[in-house]
Structure 1
């Protein structure tokens, strides 16, 4: 998968509907997210995402792509996601994709570390 397609795919995981998310996450996926239960399997993550509003926009920066072996892609980036009525969310993230067949990829790992916002001094 070429870099432009990787980033388009990753952005879609933040903004697309639950059905797209369900089709993109491997059953064997493990995720670490900043909310209980924190560590989730693929199906737990799909269920959690299905019951939460999707982000209306996301900007991915500090992008890095590694291909440690054929059929495996590792990415890292900074995300800034927004939707109406809530504070923007920022996190440093990683995802790992594995190829199942020609042009068919699934997420097998995802992790988010929320960015700590500096508090103004009183």
Structure 2
């Protein structure tokens, strides 16, 4: 599996696995930017936000783009996600990862919902 394959698989897990799994793959001082009303979250505040802690039943990525320079990788994509009992969610997203001694940790995530989508 290539590094890019690993990063994309990790990104999918962030959407679909539990908050504990996502927390284990996230750098301590990470910054997440979600649509209003959630806003900008950093560190432990990320995991206290109810909307962030809820996982999606499924997610599909399209318009994928990735870039890597040494120990930093950036993923950009369009997400189409489904959660039980809620309308679908579509957003353009970016995530940045830091390779910390062989482990890729998410250090930043941002979502820009597409028109008519519901926030995270």
User: Does residue 1:106 correspond to 2:105, yes or no?
Assistant: yes
Number of aligned pairs? 116
- Rg: which structure is higher? 1
Q: After superposition, what is the alpha-carbon deviation per residue over 1:16-66, rounded to whole angstroms, capped at 9, x for unaligned? A: 011101111111111110133401103111222587431000001100010
Q: After superposition, what is the alpha-carbon deviation per residue over 1:61-114, rounded to whole angstroms, capped at 9, x for unaligned? A: 1000101x2110011000011022100011000000001112x11111110000
Runs of 5+ in structure 2 lacking a partner? Answer: none
- Residues 98 and 104 in structure 2, CA contact (< 8 A), matched pair in contact too: yes
Task: Compute the TM-score of the two structures, normalised by the length of structure 2.
Answer: 0.88
Show the counterpart of 1:75.
75
Show the counterpart of 2:33.
32
User: Does residue 1:89 correspond to 2:89, yes or no?
Assistant: yes
User: Does residue 1:18 correspond to 2:19, yes or no?
Assistant: yes
Task: Determine the C-alpha separation between the residues in 1 that align with 2:8 and 2:52.
Answer: 24
Show the counterpart of 1:46.
47
- Residues 18 and 49 in structure 1, CA contact (< 8 A), matched pair in contact too: no
Task: Compute the TM-score of the two structures, normalised by the length of structure 1.
Answer: 0.86
The alignment's C-alpha RMSD in Å is 1.9
Task: Determine the C-alpha separation between the residues in 2 that align with 1:43 and 1:111.
Answer: 16
- Residues 79 and 91 in structure 2, CA contact (< 8 A), matched pair in contact too: yes
Runs of 5+ in structure 1 lacking a partner? Answer: none
Task: Determine the C-alpha separation between the residues in 1 that align with 2:62 and 2:31.
Answer: 23
